[in-house]
Structure 1
Amino acid sequence: MKNLVPLFLSLILIPQPLHARTWTAASDGKKMEAEFVKSDGRTVTIRRAADNKVFTVPLTTFSEEDREFVAAKIEEMKAADAEKNAPELSLGDYEEMIKGEWVKGEHEGVNYQMYGPKRVKRSDSLPLVIYLHGSGERGEDNEQQIRVQGPKTLTADDNFRKRPCILIAPQAPTDGGWNGGTGDAVLDLIEDIVKNVSVVDSKRVYVTGYSMGAYGSFSLMSKEPDLFAGAVTIAGGANPGIAGDIKKIPIWNFHGDMDATVNVEQSRGIMEALEKARAPVKYTEMAGEGHGIPGKVYNDVEVHEWLFAQKQD
């Protein structure tokens, strides 16, 4: 029994890997237990459980499953570094509004609702999306503007999980639109959020709108062209004279060629002017479609992927 004590103590004193796993050789399938230490993406450093020896080998030494594990660990380490080096989390006056559900607010006399992730951390970098509704959602209830296709699709579980953002849906007054004081208040709200919410990516501010909201989107962009990284506009239009002001903003515009509410020429005019200005625009004219096209546009995953890929230099 006395002879076993030193051996037992030596086993206790040998550092043991805390997170050992089974690694498989790509060449012959041999296995060993080892703890992941670090990786630069080309090589991997591990600590072998049998003798605590640390060594570095090409990542291709191990199986595809092991390489996937290492890739995941690299992403974890990057996220940890980003969190460590990120500025302190600051949500300003919007702290109680970013909670995974629609929350009502008011800014300079304009009602709006905000939607964001249930939780945010200081390393998050989220786009800010502004949705401008059409004339049918004007009012004072601060409700109708979130019941339409744009906000519903942007906040749908699967879409929001893949493309999280801070979404703002203001409501124009009953007898007003997005020009004048209402538009100015929305711009001020956007700038205030960008300034005071640290998780908002100032290089990824997007605006999208339908009908009156499409006109409003063009109006906001013409007033503050340096603020926006991209836009999706539906069944609206703008004065072609603003093309020079907004020619640097990527815009994807949609219009039905049978639209009896807003004539398709309203879109054709501004898009032709933007194309002449060599602006980074896309124009989809939907054959046989009338004014009610938001569902087809906002339910198209490609539209969301395109918008969220836009980023200012």
Structure 2
Amino acid sequence: MNYKNNWLSCLLVLLPMLIFSQEQLYKEASLVRQNDTLNYRILLPENFSENQTYPLLLFLHGAGERGSDNKAQLTHGSTLFTAQENRSNFPAIVIFPQCPKDDYWSNVDIDRSKQSIQLEFNSQKEATTALTLVMELLNEQLDQPYVNKDRVYVAGLSMGAMGTFEILSRMPTTFAAAIPICGAGNTALAEKYAQVPLWVFHGAKDNVVAPLYSLEMVEALLKAGGYPKFTLYEDANHNSWDSAFAEPELLTWLFSKNRAQP
């Protein structure tokens, strides 16, 4: 009997079921404003009760997961919050919005003519439609009595990390902590949220979004009086989120932060 082939066959049968189960845990929803729609998935804590309060985490995906299927945004990071140990130890409301294909989380000019993209941020630009809808969605959630307003967090990877830096600058008093992974931001706006605890991640070999962008953001935060936590993975390329999600203290660090206690 070929046990290896049998094991692979079982895995191929179970994999769609695991993906389906994952999608079922994150409930589908949409925010509609006139002609604009923001699809999102929301994960509620086990034994959720509106009579209790919970932390809220907003997770912003990368450019490759943009679309309208309300599924692709769960590709990276979603399983971190559905792992049984994490659901038990860190009960929280987790929201994964999906950016439409023709939009972006951050208002930035992008030059893709080189292997490592060139980014230019302008502090005078308005938020994109996608990020505007995310902020509306977040404000709606903050109006709910079961959301702990002192424990609201934002995280994102690549394009989502750019959105993380930007939403911090536009809502600087909202978040208790943030995790931008392999991203970039407007250094001129760092002083607006320098006191928010950040854990910034990047791969030293990133040839898509250069690690210098994160280094520049960390430098700007330090100059503004902040104390960001920074991890640079010497062997990681753009997918440094894999290493970040594997950090044993990641969620402990994040959910320990309270807006009233930086």
Normalising by structure 1, we get a TM-score of 0.66
Match for 1:126: what amino acid? Y
Match among 186, 197, 200 for residue 134 of structure 2: 186
Decide which of 80, 98, 101 is 1:174's aligned counterpart.
Answer: 101
| Equivalent pair of 1:114/1:168 in contact (CA under 8 Å) | yes
Aligned partner of 2:83: which letter? A
Give the match's secondary structure for 1:258: coil
Per-residue CA shift, 1:94-118, capped at 9, x if unaligned? xxxxxx8211111131100100124
1:297 counterpart residue number: 244
Question: In structure 2, which of residues 20, 25, 47 is the aligned counterpart of residue 119 of structure 1?
Answer: 47
Report the count of equivalent residues. 212
Which residue among 208, 217, 228 is the counterpart of 1:261?
A: 208
- Structure 1 residues not aligned, in runs of 5+: 1-99
Letter of the 2:66 counterpart: R
Q: What's the offset of the Cα at 1:123?
A: 4.8
Q: What is the letter of the counterpart of residue 216 of structure 2? A: G
The whole-number CA distance in structure 2 between the counterparts of 1:158 and 1:260 is 34
Moved >4 Å (runs of 4+): none
**Does the aligned pair in 1 maintain the 2:103–2:129 contact within 8 Å?**
no
- Pick from 184, 188, 196 the counterpart of residue 237 of structure 1: 184
Secondary structure, in 3 states, of the residue corresponding to 1:292?
coil
Farther off after superposition, 237-246 or 112-121: 112-121
What's 1:195 paired with? 143
Whether contact under 8 Å (2:201, 2:230) holds in the other structure is: yes
The yes-or-no answer on 1:163 pairing with 2:90 is: yes
1:107-149 superposed Cα distances (whole Å, 9 cap, x missing partner): 131100100124223552211001100011000100011132x
Report the alpha carbon displacement of residue 289 of structure 1 after superposing the two structures with TM. 1.5
CA distance in 2, matches of 1:216, 1:167: 17
Task: Please state how far the C-alpha of 1:278 moved relative to its aligned partner.
Answer: 1.8
Residues 260-310 of structure 1 show CA distances to partners (whole Å, capped at 9, x for unaligned) of: 000011101111010111213111111122111112111222011100011
The answer (yes or no) to whether the contact 1:132–1:169 under 8 Å persists in 2 is yes
- The verdict on how the C-alpha distance between 1:143 and 1:300 changes in structure 2, with shifts beyond 3 A counting, is same
**1:212 matched to which residue of 2?**
159
Q: Is the 8 A contact 1:101 1:118 kept in 2?
A: no
Q: What is the alpha-carbon distance in structure 2 between the residues aligned to residue 154 and residue 101 of structure 1?
A: 10
1:82-161 matched pairs, under 5 angstroms:
101-108=25-32, 109-148=37-76, 150-161=77-88
TM-score (norm 2): 0.78
Q: Which amino acid in 2 is paired with 1:187? A: M
RMSD (Å), alpha carbons:
1.3
* Rounded Cα–Cα distance in structure 2 between residues aligned with 1:104 and 1:122: 19
Moved more, 294-303 or 185-194: 294-303
State how 1:51-90 maps to structure 2 within 5 Å.
none
- Find out whether 1:285 has 2:232 as its counterpart: yes
Give a deviation string over 1:173-215, Cα, whole Å, max 9, x none: 012111311101101111111102x221001110000000000
Deviations 1:12-68 (A, max 9, x none): xxxxxxxxxxxxxxxxxxxxxxxxxxxxxxxxxxxxxxxxxxxxxxxxxxxxxxxxx
Task: Tell me, yes or no, if the aligned pair for 1:252 and 1:282 is still in contact at 8 Å.
Answer: yes
Identity, in percent, stands at 33
Distance between the aligned counterparts of 1:137 and 1:122, measured in 2? 31
Secondary structure of 1:273 counterpart: helix
Alignment partners' CA distance in 2, 1:250 and 1:302: 15
**How many angstroms apart in 2 are the aligned matches of 1:301 and 1:160?**
15
| Contact 1:194–1:202 (8 Å) recurs in 2 | yes
Q: 1: CA distance between counterparts of 2:38 and 2:183?
A: 22
Cα distance in 2, alignment partners of residues 135 and 116 from structure 1: 25
Contact 2:52 2:146 in 1 (8 A): yes
